[in-house]
Structure 1
């Protein structure tokens, strides 16, 4: 039996959008990072991908029409949380550029604080300030 864990690490997060170019532009403004990959091209992308954060995790935005099932087109219950150093400042920045609060700032104990917003495309963007993340670095 292998001692390697089945889930080795976060490799990619994909979120859907009806207007991929608009979502690309919003996430570029939200993160301060430009996408490194756009398919088929930058003018009419059906898929774009960013590399974000300390581990260069991939955030992909896919045209909702290419999702694998009708259920996936409606959204799901998964919330991916991205570590941020200053939760309040990040929340203010995101709501200032068009996101709406989904989950208010919520202390979770021992230095853990979470919040989340809905991006302008209906996706939940989870945020966390996590002492464990900082220790891992």
Structure 2
């Protein structure tokens, strides 16, 4: 049975640049780092209200080709327009602009400088669960 989101993994060809970019975006250093051949092969961050895990993996270890794919995991943000603008200012490319989905659910997505889709949203259900 699915119990909840555990870790999401993104891939990057340039792990040093990816670590620096995500550290800037998230405002925290990775709590875990694994080296391979003298450089980072995996870095992991714990972020947000539930300490969700975001792992960045060297593309050499991808079980498939990398690049934007069919799954978008949306991160809840309090300021959707501001978060989208900040991601773009840091080098992400807009994939889908701000899109109302109904009843307070609004999404947007970007492609990070490493080819991963990053979704963001305002989500009243997330806030209700957090408040409960």
Q: TM-score, normalised by structure 2?
A: 0.93
Report the number of matched residues: 129
Aligned equivalent of 1:3: none
Cross-structure match for 1:87: 80
Instruction: Report the equivalent of 1:136.
Output: 129
Q: Which moved more, 1:54-63 or 1:43-52?
A: 43-52
The aligned runs of 1:94-109 (5 Å cut-off) are: 94-109=87-102
Could you say which structure has the larger radius of gyration?
1
- Give 1:73 deviation, angstroms: 3.1
Distance 2:41 2:92 in 1: 22
Point out 4+ residue stretches in structure 1 off by more than 4 angstroms. Answer: none
* Superposition deviation, residue 77 in structure 1: 1.0
Change (3 A) 1:74 1:126: closer
* Unpaired segments ≥5 residues, structure 1: 1-5
* Structure-1 residue corresponding to 2:17: 22
Structure 2: give runs of 5+ residues left out of the alignment.
none
1:117 aligns to what?
110
CA RMSD in angstroms, aligned pairs only: 1.3
CA distance in 1, matches of 2:2, 2:112: 27
